[in-house]
Amino acid sequence: MKVKFALAGLCGLFAATPALADISVCITVSATGPAASLGVPEHNTIPLLPKEVAGQAINYTSFDDATDPTAAVKNVRKCIEEQKADLLIGSSTTPTTIAVAGVAAETKTPVLTLAPVGLPEESEVWAFRTPQPVSQMAGALVEHMTANGVKTLGFIGYADGYGELWLNVMNKALEGSGIAMEPIERFARNDTSVTGQVLKLVAARPDAVLVVASGTPAALPNLALAERGYEGQVYHTHGSASLDFIRVAGASAEGSILPVGPVVVAAQLPDSHPSKALGVEYTKAYEAAHGEGSLSSFGGHMFDAGQIILATVPAAMEKGAPGSEAFRGALRDALENMKEVVGVHGVFNTSANDHYGHDERSRVLVTVEDGAWKYME
């Protein structure tokens, strides 16, 4: 397995062009910039991806897009042109992923995204997600809110595609629940303060607040809410499922509730959970390389991309050789017809109408207790 990691704009360092029979996988992640807490564990997981499948070597070429959609596009275009990529993986955020998916559709190259994005129909055909759909995660939150008497919910989220996606999904999920969502506040990924937005939230005195962000910036609302004495329940999305969030938020993270993939608390899962064994295996391998407590759910999405490669490439090779249009088309078809493919984030069953493939086995609720994730049974 060959792994190269190039900074955006410094893309001249490539692995040697793989042999014709090798499978070429191009990866772009946001290892620097505002989404670094997502991209770094994704990049760190690349050495744990399968080195071969069906007797064919897999060559991985990886890039850092620095959380910049323009750089993400440049990365994958260069890789497609020079490496004849059979599969794309990435990127880490909604804006960068939408950009990559556009190139994937244009070049008819299948892509496994690491972000749960909504896409136009022409991009949807070639894009498959490793993360859980927002609707599934939102449903888990609304169930908990309803069961615990929440009647008013404040919202503070990113002023981008991720924030808007969650806002739209939550509006739909809350229909008939008796929960009113207001006020609605937004902030940018690179903001260093959300004081103004939080003052409006606290003044409205909602029973709970939902924070829609990812990585370390997700800590900003918690810190500001705690500073102003807010005592209601704080919910987060699975975008906050990083120990960097807990580290930065500190004591203000305590008691926060969020839906996550099973890998986040793999060792705490019941033995009957289909993702437990693989999740524990991945956790041990990742932490052996990067230290105890270093695991992130985001790296798990990259790991699941590897499990998907193992499950789908053999069928594609029956229709064409790696490097060919026939192989890429057959791989797309195989990705659309996965059956019970076990990953660390759940079990994948895809179809023409579902390019996520997740079900309720892909989500659990956790809270922050004593600076760590605690599985809520």
pLDDT tens per residue, the chain (377 residues)? 444 444 443 333 334 444 446 999 999 999 999 899 899 999 999 999 999 999 999 999 999 999 999 999 999 999 999 999 999 999 999 999 999 999 999 999 999 999 999 899 999 999 999 999 999 999 999 999 999 999 999 999 999 989 999 999 999 999 999 999 999 999 999 999 999 999 999 999 999 999 999 988 999 999 999 999 999 999 999 999 988 899 999 999 999 999 999 999 999 999 999 999 999 999 999 999 999 989 999 999 999 999 999 999 999 999 999 999 999 999 999 999 999 999 999 999 999 999 999 999 999 999 999 999 999 97
What is the rounded distance in angstroms from the CA atom of residue 351 to the CA atom of residue 344?
20
User: pTM score > 0.85 for this model?
Assistant: yes
Q: Do the beta carbons of residue 38 and residue 297 sit within 8 Å?
A: no
Contacts of 14 (CB under 8 A, 6+ apart): 4, 6, 61, 82, 83
pLDDT of residue 21: 62
Helix (H, G, I), strand (E, B) or coil at 153: strand
Q: What are the angstrom distances between the C-alpha of 19 and each of 4, 24, 77, 206, 323?
A: 16, 9, 20, 60, 10
Residue 35 per-residue DSSP state: T
Report yes or no: 198 and 224 within 8 Å, Cβ to Cβ: yes
Residue 69's region, left for phi above 0, alpha for psi from -120 to 50, else beta, is alpha
Query: Quick count: other Cβ atoms within 10 Å of Cβ 372?
Result: 12
**Residues 90 and 305 sit within 8 Å (Cβ to Cβ):** no
Alpha helices in the chain (DSSP H): 36-45, 69-83, 94-107, 121-124, 134-147, 161-173, 195-204, 219-227, 243-249, 276-290, 297-317, 325-335
Q: How crowded is the C-beta side of 356, counted as CA atoms within 13 Å?
A: 19
Interatomic CA distance for residues 125 and 100, integer angstroms = 13
CA–CA distance, 41 with 29 (Å, rounded to integer): 10
- All structural domains of the chain, each given as residue ranges with its CATH number in brackets, are 3-132+293-362 (3.40.50.2300), 134-260 (3.40.50.2300)
